[in-house]
Homo-oligomer: A and B are copies of this chain.
Amino acid sequence: MERTDKKVEALRLTRLFGLLDEEALLWLAAQSEVRRLSAGEMLFFFGEPATGIFVIMSGTIRVFQQNSEGREQVMHIDTNGATLGDVPAFDDGPYPASAIAQTDSEVIFIGKEMIQQFCLQQPQFVLVALKLMAERVRKHAQLVNNLSFHEVGQRLALFLLSEGEKDGGEQQECISFRLSLSNHEIATRIGSVRDVVSRALARLQKLRLVTVKERTVTIPDVRPLKIYADSSLKATTIHAKH
């Protein structure tokens, strides 16, 4: 199998395998195969029996659930170094969600048996996997929280804040960044639909919490936006009545 080095390099950059020694990485690389995906290609489907885990070498992959009408709820979006399909690899169930390549991507596939065999030989690896899995639980709990307790406008505000932090990086009062996603894509992440996101964004602008000019979002002051995102609706409604 050629290009083992490339695979080893890719594995070394992941959180899951990053701490392993050269030998272990070489073994894994030998057991693995590279798979190339075009944008829009499905990596796996919800409910399908799982055969192994995927490690992203390049590109970005969206993991989501979908209802019978095609409406999507994004669970998470991953890029270089992330691991996919780890849940079914460890609990032996089917895939709990579907995954699609958002851009042309390269992933490394490692069969479930390999992983399980590997686990028995590399105890410290299992600890890392456990930590990553715990973080996943935490993220999902956060998602439940957002969906249960915040309405669309607030979820949009939270989304903009997280995008702003990711993009702008710093901990500033004023953040400005280019909105790389369409309203429809935003909707799939915050659990809504295109139209409603459009309206919610307009509302945030009316409230002077953000300004949008040609898909460039400016948050003049993050604090009131954070307050809006976390505020109980009852309070804001009562206030708005007068």
Interface residue? A96 (CB, 8 A): yes
Chain B residue contacts of A97, Cβ below 8 A:
141
User: Complex: how many Å from CA A140 to CA B147?
Assistant: 12
A91 and B234 contact, Cβ closer than 8 Å, known pairs A71-B149, A130-B129, A144-B147: no
29 A–B contact pairs at CB < 8 A? A65-B144, A65-B149, A67-B232, A68-B231, A69-B234, A87-B137, A88-B134, A90-B131, A90-B133, A90-B134, A93-B135, A93-B138, A96-B138, A97-B141, A119-B127, A119-B130, A120-B123, A120-B127, A123-B126, A126-B126, A126-B127, A126-B130, A129-B130, A130-B130, A133-B133, A136-B137, A140-B140, A147-B147, A147-B148
Closest CB in chain B relative to A174 CB, distance in Å: 27
Q: Are B140 and A144 in contact (CB under 8 A)?
A: yes
Interface residues as binary, A70-99 with B (CB distance below 8 Å gives 1, 0 otherwise): 010101000000000011111101001100
User: Complex: how many Å from CA A67 to CA B232?
Assistant: 8
User: Complex: how many Å from CA A51 to CA B182?
Assistant: 43
Chain B residue contacts of A88, Cβ below 8 A:
134
Chain B residue contacts of A137, Cβ below 8 A:
87, 96, 133, 136-137, 140
User: Complex: how many Å from CA A71 to CA B148?
Assistant: 9
User: Complex: how many Å from CA A68 to CA B68?
Assistant: 33
Interface residue? A191 (CB, 8 A): yes
Interface residue? A162 (CB, 8 A): no
